[in-house]
Amino acid sequence: MRFELELSNFSALVTDPHPAARLLEVGQRAESAGFERLALPDHLWWAEPPLDDGTTDRPVLDPFTTLGLLAGATQRIELGLLVAGVHLRHPAMLIKQVATLDVLSNGRACLGVGAGWCRAECDGLGIPFPSADRRFAMLEDTLQLAHLMWKEEGAGYSTASNLNGRTLQVPRALSAPAPRQRPHPPILIGGSGPRRTIPLMARYADEANLIAVDDTGTLQTAFLQSRLERLTFECIQAGRDPGQIVRSAALSLDTPGSTPGEVDTEAAAEMIKTLTELGFQSVVLCDPSTPHRGLLDNPDLLDKWADHVMPAFTAAADDPPAASTLGLVTAPVPLVKGAPA
């Protein structure tokens, strides 16, 4: 089992006279603790949903500026977004930013991408927020463009291909220098919708990230099982080996309702055990969002996971389960009425 980390609660930096130093300390401690990846959210400001204290507007840092800072202070840990919203910038700019991060970090960047969800920040700043249909079309165009821009031709240059997408026309998809990772930086797609998100995961993702718990912190075992089955089916339909996709689940870094900085390590270990049995290969521990509960306020959370939970699960991961073990060969998984896309 891999362990990844999402850092998204920046409230501690608002009054900190040395915010960069605090960020770098957490990044270096995460690397030393054995986390495989550190990811940041992609928001201009975070407007929803409301937090436990009623707060609706949260401070966030620009992810690529912050990841560049972290890249210079770390050696091994991967760096990425969880996840980039395709509506916030031109896809070529996003892909170029990830390629640049990959070069400067010596091959440690990850493209995490999704269809986006936070309408309030767009409305507040005058940024168009397209319909869900268009955002998913934009997402597929972005994924196709990434593969085109990251095709290597010659010494460190990509091939100059064109893309005629549903929302994007690119006559010369060039990226130079090419990313250090070959064939390209890993592509993570976040979401869980069975009609649109999971089929895109099956066709384009190197990692599929699902939210593993509900609002109370309870593991959604049946939900996760159904989504993994759907992913396997969509891979078969696309002619792709399901084992090519890393399946990752997002959990909270602390125990909801506990004292800030505390985690019930026994309960956490039981959750990880269940996720392993379901076929997940990676866990993303997400920063608690309420002020004073975040990782920047409580960096010792890293040691609690590293000392009391992670050692039992960080041996070599089992091979992904074959499609037949999930009961999926030719029959599609029925969609749940009202399920997200």
**Amino acid 330: pLDDT:** 34
**Amino acid 216: pLDDT:** 83
Mean pLDDT of 65-70: 98
Residue 214: strand, helix, or coil: coil
Alpha helices in the chain, H assignment, sequence order? 19-33, 63-71, 91-104, 119-125, 132-149, 197-204, 221-238, 265-278, 300-308
User: Helices 91-104 and 132-149: crossing angle, nearest 10°?
Assistant: 40
332 or 264: which carries more pLDDT confidence? 264
CA 270 remoteness from chain centre: 23
157 or 30: which carries more pLDDT confidence? 30
Structure token pair of residue 150: 């990251």
173 or 230: which carries more pLDDT confidence? 230
- For residue 4, is pLDDT > 60? yes
Q: How many C-beta atoms lie closer than 10 Å to residue 106's C-beta?
A: 12
34 or 171: which carries more pLDDT confidence? 34
Q: pLDDT confidence of 321, banded at 50, 70, 90? A: very low
- For residue 123, is pLDDT > 60? yes
Residues 35/303, Cβ–Cβ less than 8 Å: no
| Of the listed ranges 43-57, 75-89, 312-326, the one predicted with least confidence | 312-326
Spell out a b/e string for 11-48, using b for 16 or more CB atoms within 10 Å of the CB, else e.
Answer: bbbeeeeebeebbbebbebbbebbbbbbbbbbbeebbe
**Amino acid 62: pLDDT:** 97
Mean pLDDT of 26-44: 97
Show the domains of the chain with their CATH numbers. Answer: 2-256+285-326 (3.20.20.30)
Of 102, 65, 88, 182, nearest to 139 by C-alpha is 88
233 or 117: which carries more pLDDT confidence? 233
pLDDT in tens, 233-279: 999 999 999 999 999 999 999 887 778 889 999 999 999 999 999 99
**Amino acid 319: pLDDT:** 46
Q: pLDDT confidence of 49, banded at 50, 70, 90? A: low
Q: pLDDT confidence of 336, banded at 50, 70, 90? A: very low
pTM beyond 0.85, yes or no: yes
| Of the listed ranges 32-41, 75-84, 138-147, 248-257, the one predicted with least confidence | 248-257
Spell out a b/e string for 201-211, using b for 16 or more CB atoms within 10 Å of the CB, else e.
Answer: bbbbbbbbbbb
**Amino acid 153: pLDDT:** 58
**Amino acid 74: pLDDT:** 98
Mean pLDDT for the chain overall: 88
How far apart, in whole angstroms, are the C-alpha atoms of residue 27 and residue 33? 10
Q: pLDDT confidence of 340, banded at 50, 70, 90? A: low
| Of the listed ranges 47-51, 126-130, 295-299, the one predicted with least confidence | 47-51
pLDDT in tens, 274-300: 999 999 999 999 998 888 889 999 999
pLDDT in tens, 197-217: 999 999 999 999 999 999 888
**Amino acid 316: pLDDT:** 47
**Amino acid 315: pLDDT:** 66
Q: What DSSP designation does 333 have?
A: P
**Amino acid 208: pLDDT:** 99
Mean pLDDT of 98-116: 98
